[in-house]
Structure 1
């Protein structure tokens, strides 16, 4: 078993929280893990990307080669588009449909989503809307993690355990909110893949 994941988004969207949760869940499942991340200028909405490799065998490199990612999990649609060259022919793209309009020449959203829809396996979800319905738009990253969960090869219960461990210092209400957001994203992906 191996899963190579590109996590992409804009600073402040919770990419590193997603990486921490998946890493925690993988380690608690006695899997091997390698991660490399690039932080943009998060205060200015810069790009953030993390390469996350999970396997039941030792992993030599923390970087994912072009054309071999099993999953692109993007919390911002243009960032999903940016990393499509990394996607394997059998890989999934899971993207939020809500853009972060942080540049003056942001491409037309419909064109970005149409390009993503050309991928054989994709899930496009309005994670911000779903998180807002749950009660906190900041939980959109957990909605995205849930939407990507069917393609990660770690059981959803184990990811929920990771959410609980990562957020436990923030209190039970925060843990519960994030698990609820995760489950909403998971259900969306199961219904729409």
Structure 2
């Protein structure tokens, strides 16, 4: 087993929480994980990405080489396109369609959507709508993790265990809201 995942978005969207859940799930699955994070401006609205490499053997580098990502999981559509050079042929893009217009010349939303739909393997998710149904738009990151779960190489129950572990200090209501969000993203993926 070997899986390379790029997480992408902007500050404040919960990229590092997604990474933490995946890390916990990988560890509980007895796998090795290496992670490299890049925080854009280290502020809300700045670009954020994380490289996650998961394997059942030793991993020598924490950075994913160009053309070797199995999955781009993005919570912002423009950020998904930014990392296309890292995607391997046949790799999967799972992205939210909800833009964060953090720059003055943000691309046209229809053009972004067309560019994403032109990729070979993609799943576009209205994460904000699903997160509202789960109880809070702050759970849109867990909606996206649920939608991408099938391509992480990790069992959904271990990802849910990671969610529980990460959020337990915030109380059972927050844990349950995030698990509900995760499952709603999973349901969209399963309908494909």
Q: TM-score, normalised by structure 1?
A: 0.97
* Per-residue deviation, 1:6: 0.3
In the TM superposition, what are the counterparts of 1:113-132 in structure 2 within 5 Å?
Answer: 113-132=113-132
Deviation string, structure 1 residues 104-161 (Cα, Å, up to 9, x no partner): 1000111111111111111000101110122100000000000010101111001000
Quote the Cα distance in structure 1 between the aligned partners of 2:113 and 2:2.
28
1:163 counterpart residue number: 163
Quote the Cα distance in structure 2 between the aligned partners of 1:81 and 1:10.
13
Structure 1 unaligned residues grouped into runs of 5+: none
* Per-residue deviation, 1:41: 2.2
Quote the Cα distance in structure 2 between the aligned partners of 1:168 and 1:43.
25
* Per-residue deviation, 1:190: 1.4
* SS of structure 2 residue aligned to 1:92: strand
1:31 counterpart residue number: 31
Quote the Cα distance in structure 1 between the aligned partners of 2:78 and 2:97.
9
Quote the Cα distance in structure 1 between the aligned partners of 2:126 and 2:42.
22
Where has structure 1 moved over 4 Å in runs of 4 or more? none
In the TM superposition, what are the counterparts of 1:83-98 in structure 2 within 5 Å?
Answer: 83-98=83-98
* Per-residue deviation, 1:12: 0.4
Most deviating of 37-46 and 128-137: 37-46
2:145 counterpart residue number: 145
* SS of structure 1 residue aligned to 2:191: helix
Residues 130 and 42 (structure 1), Cα distance of their counterparts in 2 relative to 1, 3 Å cut = farther
RMSD: 0.8
Most deviating of 1-10 and 108-117: 108-117
* Per-residue deviation, 1:189: 1.1
